[in-house]
Every structure is written in C-alpha cells, then in structure tokens.
Amino acid sequence: MADDKRVGAPSLAGSAKEPLVICDGLVKVFGRLRVLDGLDLAIGVGETFGLVGPNGSGKTTLMRILAGLVRPTAGSVRVLGRRLPDPRVAASLGYMTQLSALYLDLTARENLRFFCSIYGLRGQERERRIAEILARVDLSADADRVVATFSGGMRQRLSLACALVHRPRLALLDEPTVGVDPELRRSFWDYFAQLNREGTTIIVSTHHLDEAARCSRLGLLRFGRLLACGTPHELLAGAGTSDMEAAFLYYAARGRQEEVTA
C-alpha cells in the first residue's frame, strides 16, 4: 500500500525520515476471534502516538506485536527499520504492560537496577539514570522500600520508571496513568513531551480522553480496525465537534455505516 494512501501515514510535513513503526495489512486471529483486522499504520520519529478505543479494540495486542512478543497472523510490521520479530530491536524498546512486571520482594531501586542490567547500564551512568527517573515519578523518598508495601499507584509509577530508565528509542506504554493522581499524570505527560524532543517515539494507549489531546496524533480503534487517524485537531474538525468523546462516537458510527454498505 502506498504511503500517501495509508490511513495512518505520518502528518509530519516535509519529513524525509522513514517512519519508525510501519504496520502493513496487520491481522491477528486468536481462535475464531479476529483481534486486528487489516491494520495499516505508520508512526514517525519523535511522536507521541495515542491508541484510543474501548476494551477489546486491539490496543494491547498491537502493543505486544510491536514489542515482538506476539506474531501477527498476516501482514507485516517494521520497527526501527527491521521486520519483526527481530531480537535486535528489543534493546531499543521500553514496554510498560498493563500487568505489573515488578519484583515485589525487591526495593524500587533494586527493581530499577535489574532492568538497567538487562539494557547494559552500569556504574555511575546507571545510578544517575535511576536517581533521575525516581525523581520524575516522585519515588525518590521510597527508593529503598520493598515494592510489596507500595500502593497500586506507586507500583504503576515504578513500572513506568522501569520502562523508561534506559532511554529507549521507542516506548510502548499500555495504560501508563491508570491509578495515578491528576497532578502526577500531568507530570508524566510533560515528561513524554520532553522525551519526544530528545527523539524518543512513544506509543501510548489511554482511556483518558483529556490525555488524548496531548498526543501528536491519535489512532481511533474499534474491533481491530483503524476508524480514523490524525492530530487531535484534525479528528475534532473532521467530526465537527470540540469534544473528543463525541468525535470517537462519530467515527465509530461512520465505521458501522461503512460496514453495512460495503
């Protein structure tokens, strides 16, 4: 499929860079359930790309495919110029799952040291990055507490820290702000914008539509299909509304109508 016809083509005018992520005709089937249905998507360097859709729309499955954990049934995926699955891509990824990957019997600092060891960070650089990320997620004072004593929100913050401690080129964040208070959520999104400026690409799924407005672009998903893709402003203008929830309902209704008339 030509890039100018791709529904998820980057809206980075004048950019000659190859997209960091390219999905072409992506299909994933589990038994009789078609979770992704011919998904075409391209995401540019330095974007925060938001995946918005209800439970069961395919957001987490897409994340897992991009992380190299699940093979697609059909279609192709390229990340960092390599066709997946490719183990060489893993070191440049950060992946925060919905289910915690933390070791509850270790402290926050020990968890971060473990993740640093996976990515080859050692010595003073490791300790500097750990101190920086702990401060970013407001856990400096709790760095040496055992994670089993943390609240759900604190564990969520530490999970985000573990995904970003090595400064990945591509960060896959699946519902990263669930259980986080509004002030800290705002701090997270300020940090995401900083990472974008430094060249990190972020793909984030969210149910918070106020967060969606802070993404560079959004992909609206329903039943594994991309209903629409564009900047928040473009999507709101296309739906003729100033409300993102109303915009999603508009594109969902349009998608149902297209299915009926197809």
Residue 14: what pLDDT? 33
Q: Mean of the pLDDT values across residues 250-259?
A: 86
Over the stretch 52-62, which tens digit does the pLDDT of each residue have?
Answer: 988 889 999 99
Over the stretch 164-210, which tens digit does the pLDDT of each residue have?
Answer: 999 999 999 998 988 778 888 888 899 899 999 999 999 999 877 88
Higher-confidence position of 191 and 144: 144
Is residue 171 within 8 Å of residue 195, measured between CB atoms?
A: yes
pLDDT at 13 over 60: no
Q: Provide the whole-model pTM.
A: 0.87
| Cα–Cα distance, 170 to 77 (Å, whole number) | 14
State how many domains the chain has.
1
- Confidence grade of residue 78 (pLDDT, cut at 50, 70, 90): very high
What CATH number should be reported for the domain holding residue 85? 3.40.50.300
In one-letter notation, the amino acid at residue 68 is G
pLDDT at 256 over 90: no
Is residue 24 within 8 Å of residue 40, measured between CB atoms?
A: yes
Higher-confidence position of 85 and 258: 85
Average model confidence (pLDDT) for the chain? 89
Boundaries of domain holding 234:
3-10+17-261
Q: Mean of the pLDDT values across residues 30-43?
A: 95
Residue 262: what pLDDT? 59
Packing angle between helix 244-261 and helix 232-239, nearest 10 degrees?
60
